[in-house]
Chains A and B, each alone.
Chain A
């Protein structure tokens, strides 16, 4: 027993204690990490919490050898180590599960695992041996996956398991988990947490990056909060609470539960009838979609990413072709209207891909503020732009929506994600919309901006706006919506009242295992 005490089930040595001391990293104009101390022990799950841009990812990229620190050292079991590349990190027993999957989609699970490893008979690939070991690891850790499957064909949850196997196969004693739950259903998250807990029990050290408070309390032993590149504090998870952590993250009090005033919904503003949309390869992406959104109502759309949310938004806006069915805005049929027409009759749209569809990132703040309306007075007269009117308008938006920008002529790409999103929100709401489609309005946005965006959406609801809120963040959908519609493989699994439905029920509907229809406020 004594000889195996310091070994993991895979037979590799544990990392009893890993320390990062006084890590400093500068990028041009930014101090990303400012003398950061961080440590993790075998058997522990240590959360790293912070807003976007707080320096979590930079710190972990340094640990994984993707960046070199300007100052500071890394110690493993008391010994100083140099980690200059991912190869070094892997050799020291450090593995990383990236936020965006690092998988080669066109090859098999086994090939993804074998990539970069020395084969026994170089340069011949030995996939049989690799597959055998994958199955062994899968059995030991409860990570079911078929080594021969091509990544293409795997669901998101399975891909996540492949990532973990990849790290374990390389003998990872310490795993960095960078927001690993972002794309999973609540049930998949629970399965994944079981696996993480099991790994910790086996003696692995885990670093868990997240900004979801509930997950931190469900999973971790300790939590370190970063803000503006500095460590604000490290707490035992048991001895802290949401409110305290949020205050540490943001630097001020944060309102978690915003009062949603009861409102009697008014007339129907947006209505879809039996809408079908066909995607690439002639496969249906939306099947027989019918619903209504009324004035003063927020209809939330929940679902795992890729179950038809994007086609739903884009087909209403006129960016995707509707194969059959009808769309009405305020009783007027608008099916097949081009986007420009939709904007004219009172639709506003916050697209899911902020940088891609929401703004032109090399254009200035002022130019982005009038994208749809640049052909209309007061922003133009004839073929001439009225720069004074444009700047006045942009200045007003920046002021009322508290957008942090060096100036109106600053290219939008130099703003933070939260401020770009505020600019889009400001532009869309200032147009005086009758219907708003908000897709992932707070994805990748920090807590402060999220809080602000939520407040504005609720304020507009009180003023009678009809909102279709598409979000993968269940807490957000539950908190803001009056009713929730769940999409699964392009079908409506049910439209339920937000106050009555539980997260578990939503999870089952998102996984396609349950259909519920409690049609209430409509009709």
Chain B
């Protein structure tokens, strides 16, 4: 009996962590998806996340207001996105290389700021969990099984999941979404109809980077409530991979993010429970899964035709 309960608790724990850990991936991947749909591959996501994580954390550390942290992360992310836009869109630098450059810039600057401004790892009071209190005594959290899995997360986690249908709406139901898709698929066609491809790509990259900044902050002021050097540990690169995994569709990205974070949660719990699996193998699992999924050839078909191709009017 007790064993059954424990097993149920473990499963609930894994699913809860899976949803929770999907938060940064969702913000970063949905943001990156917008950049890529407009034709720009931004490989600097991880660096942007680190900058967002630092500034989000530091703002909360100074003001105690989590929303100031969110705002700071969005603004810093957007600024990093503008930098990427200038280099890759206006100056037409090779996108893969400039993205790596942006990553190293973000990694280095966030570490430097950490060392000079904070010096040691500190904690803050970040976002707290919402349990959807309906009356003072009843909350959605009290629903058996489902409550602890779904109704015990922070605002940023719920926001990340709401972002998915919102992204679908923007892509498929708005003129902006259409312009972004056109810029990434056939920029010459968009240009010939009076769409300013440069502006569309700037907006998509900058918006995507702002979301990457928020992804970083979701780590430092919601999931972990600390900042340390290189705390993303390559998450931003996984986020880029998830865009490919999800075939450039928001729901595909969602599926990828959940799969990845759930396997990750499984792996963490396997270590916590001391299961007889070598921890190196366990840690490797999610990455292995990503490689296998990315190797599936059919995903290529959905790739925006003009991805990584700079646009200049009159050249074709």
Q: Which A residues have a C-beta under 8 Å from some C-beta of B?
A: 61, 64, 66-67, 85-87, 90, 96, 98, 100-107, 111-112, 114-119, 122-125, 166, 170
Decide if B189 touches A103 in the complex (CB within 8 Å): yes
- For A116, give its contact among B194, B305, B313 (CB under 8 Å): B194
Known: A86-B192, A124-B173, A166-B193. A106 touches B179 (CB 8 A): no
Cα of A13 to Cα of B181 in the assembled complex, Å = 32
Kindly name the residue among B173, B175, B190, B195 whose own CB sees the greatest number of chain A CB atoms within 10 A.
B175
Closest beta carbon of chain A to B197's beta carbon, Å: 11
Decide if A115 touches B185 in the complex (CB within 8 Å): no
Closest beta carbon of chain A to B198's beta carbon, Å: 12
Residues from 102 to 131 in B contacting A, C-beta threshold 8 Å: none
Known: A104-B185, A124-B173. A86 touches B178 (CB 8 A): no
Closest beta carbon of chain A to B177's beta carbon, Å: 8
Jot down 20 A-B pairs with beta carbons below 8 A, ordered by A: A67-B314, A85-B194, A86-B191, A86-B192, A101-B189, A102-B188, A105-B305, A106-B185, A106-B305, A107-B178, A107-B185, A114-B175, A114-B178, A115-B182, A115-B189, A115-B193, A116-B194, A117-B193, A166-B193, A170-B193
Cα of A102 to Cα of B301 in the assembled complex, Å = 20
Known: A61-B314, A66-B314, A106-B185. A116 touches B176 (CB 8 A): no
- Other than A64-B192, A104-B189, A115-B195, give 19 A-B pairs with Cβ distance below 8 A: A86-B193, A90-B193, A98-B192, A102-B192, A103-B186, A103-B189, A104-B182, A105-B186, A106-B185, A107-B182, A112-B189, A115-B182, A115-B189, A115-B190, A116-B190, A116-B195, A117-B175, A125-B177, A170-B193
Closest beta carbon of chain A to B289's beta carbon, Å: 26
Known: A66-B314, A116-B195. A104 touches B175 (CB 8 A): no
Decide if A66 touches B181 in the complex (CB within 8 Å): no
For B169, the closest partner residue in chain A by CB is A124
B174 on the interface (CB 8 Å rule)? Answer: yes
Cα of A115 to Cα of B189 in the assembled complex, Å = 9
Decide if B179 touches A116 in the complex (CB within 8 Å): yes
Decide if A111 touches B178 in the complex (CB within 8 Å): yes
Closest 5 CB pairs of A and B: A116-B193, A87-B194, A102-B189, A123-B174, A116-B195
Q: Which residues in A have their C-beta under 8 angstroms from that of B233?
A: none
Kindly name the residue among B191, B194, B313, B314 whose own CB sees the greatest number of chain A CB atoms within 10 A.
B194
For B193, the closest partner residue in chain A by CB is A116
B62 on the interface (CB 8 Å rule)? Answer: no
Decide if A125 touches B314 in the complex (CB within 8 Å): no
B135 on the interface (CB 8 Å rule)? Answer: no
Closest beta carbon of chain A to B214's beta carbon, Å: 22
Closest beta carbon of chain A to B182's beta carbon, Å: 5
Cα of A521 to Cα of B265 in the assembled complex, Å = 74
Q: Which residues in A have their C-beta under 8 angstroms from that of B179?
A: 115-116
Q: Which residues in B have their C-beta under 8 angstroms from that of A123?
A: 174-176
For A102, the closest partner residue in chain B by CB is B189
Kindly name the residue among B174, B186, B191 whose own CB sees the greatest number of chain A CB atoms within 10 A.
B186
Decide if B181 touches A86 in the complex (CB within 8 Å): no
Cα of A61 to Cα of B181 in the assembled complex, Å = 25
Decide if B174 touches A124 in the complex (CB within 8 Å): yes
Closest beta carbon of chain A to B113's beta carbon, Å: 37
Known: A114-B175, A122-B175, A123-B174. A106 touches B181 (CB 8 A): yes
Cα of A102 to Cα of B194 in the assembled complex, Å = 12
Cα of A166 to Cα of B195 in the assembled complex, Å = 14
Q: Which residues in A have their C-beta under 8 angstroms from that of B191?
A: 86
Kindly name the residue among A98, A111, A116, A118 whose own CB sees the greatest number of chain B CB atoms within 10 A.
A116
Closest beta carbon of chain A to B186's beta carbon, Å: 5
- For A107, give its contact among B175, B176, B181 (CB under 8 Å): B181
Closest beta carbon of chain B to A33's beta carbon, Å: 14
Decide if B175 touches A125 in the complex (CB within 8 Å): yes
Cα of A116 to Cα of B176 in the assembled complex, Å = 9
Q: Which residues in B have their C-beta under 8 angstroms from that of A105?
A: 185-186, 305
Cα of A103 to Cα of B192 in the assembled complex, Å = 10
Decide if B178 touches A102 in the complex (CB within 8 Å): no
For A166, the closest partner residue in chain B by CB is B193
Binary per-residue interface labels of chain B (238-266) against chain A in the complex, 1 for a CB within 8 Å, 0 otherwise: 00000000000000000000000000000
Known: A114-B178, A115-B182, A116-B195. A104 touches B314 (CB 8 A): no
Closest beta carbon of chain A to B168's beta carbon, Å: 13
Q: Which residues in A have their C-beta under 8 angstroms from that of B192?
A: 64, 66, 86, 96, 98, 102
Decide if A115 touches B178 in the complex (CB within 8 Å): yes
Q: Which residues in A have their C-beta under 8 angstroms from that of B314?
A: 61, 66-67
B316 on the interface (CB 8 Å rule)? Answer: yes
For B302, the closest partner residue in chain A by CB is A106
Closest beta carbon of chain B to A281's beta carbon, Å: 9
Closest beta carbon of chain A to B183's beta carbon, Å: 9
